[in-house]
Structures are given as C-alpha cells and as structure tokens.
Homo-oligomer: A and B are copies of this chain.
C-alpha cells in the first residue's frame, strides 16, 4: 500500500463520484465514459486504466448503490415487527424516490447484454436481509410447496432459523414493494393512483396482515 496505491484509490473514488453525479442526472443509459473523464479532468482513455469497460464501472456503481440502500434500511428501526416492516417499506420507497436512477440501476431493466456479475450478489443480499429478518416474527399461510421450501434453504445463511415459508412470503412481498415503486417511478400510476402514497400505504398494511405481523 504505497503512495501509488493511495493515489489510485483516490482517482478511482473521484471517477465513481463523477459517475454518481452523471447517473443522477442522466440515468444509467446516459452514463458516458467520456463525460465522466471530462468531469474529473482526464482524457477518456485514462479512465479505462481504472475501469476496463463501461460495464465494469456500472457494476461498481450497482454494488455501491446496493450498499447505500442497505445502509438506509439498516437505519430503520421500530419496536414491533409490524412497525419495522412499515418503516422498511417506506424507507425503500423514499430512497427510491430520492435517487430514482440508482434504484432503477439496481432493480430496473438490465443494460442490454448485461449479466449481473457475482460480486453483486452479496450486495443484493444485504438489501434483502433486513426484510427477511422480520420473517422470524411472521406467521404465514401458504408458501409451503416442497420445492419452494427447498429453494429457501439457503436463506438461513442470511437469517438463521428463518422458516422457509416465511422466507418465501417475505421475498414475494419484497417483490411487490419493488414492483409498486418501479411502477410509481416509471409514471405508470399517473392515471390511476397518483400520488401513490395511499396505495402504497394500503399495500403495506395488507402485507402486514398477510405476513401475520399484526398480532403485536
């Protein structure tokens, strides 16, 4: 870790910072290596010393965004499981609305030809974990299909003692939250439930019932 390595880290951070600014304004599709280079005062080819390809930069941004979201979620605490779920859901939505492009970078359409590289998997798991933890207090009906519960076996790596059916139900409800937020961000609710606050709130209440978190 000589001076050289520190300089490299600083430059890498500067590039990602510029990339995050570009991302916030243009979205993932409009993220341009040359524009980033301009912003950090380098020529475009120099950026490729740090990220060999645009995809590599995007992958780094994805991991970073997962981290930001996970951080926000971990800051959401509440006394009862029901309240915790509510807070998690609203934290997710608020985060998405304040950083729409970051949310869409994570949960939106994959870049054409892009396949999620392995390093994004633990980052994604960090986002799911706080939701899954509530599964410890859930009592769900259904979600007991044999092969489904087999698939959920690995979830105990994230949350020990988590029931498979609870894990599956939480996963499904997390998908529902992400779906609702995605539709809202994309403007699909404009003709019907806009602003989406009330629909979202009702959805969360329904989820608390479905997950059996109401009894406290």
Contacts and interface: CB of A to CB of B under 8 A. Distances in A.
B155 A192 contact: yes
- At the interface, is chain A mostly helix, strand, loop or mixed? helix
Contact of A188 (B28, B30, B107, B203): B107
A110 B186 contact: yes
Counting chain B CB atoms within 10 Å of each CB, the highest count among A108, A110, A124 belongs to A110
B176 A192 contact: no
A209 interface: yes
A199 B128 CA distance: 16
B176 A112 contact: no
A145 interface: yes
A194 interface: yes
A189 B144 CA distance: 18
A10 interface: no
A30 B172 contact: no
Contact of A172 (B104, B108, B206): B206
A188 B110 CA distance: 10
Interface stretch (A71-79, A81-89, A113-121): A113-121
B107 A192 contact: no
A121 B194 CA distance: 14
B112 A206 contact: no
A29 B192 CA distance: 28
A209 B142 CA distance: 10
A154 interface: yes
Given A151-B193, A182-B107, A172 B202 contact: yes
Nearest to A173: B176
Q: Which 4 pairs show the lowest CB-CB distances between chains A and B?
A: A179-B179, A108-B109, A176-B176, A27-B112
Given A145-B202, A173-B176, A179-B182, 10 more contacts: A28-B109, A109-B186, A110-B187, A116-B188, A128-B192, A142-B206, A169-B202, A171-B192, A175-B182, A176-B179
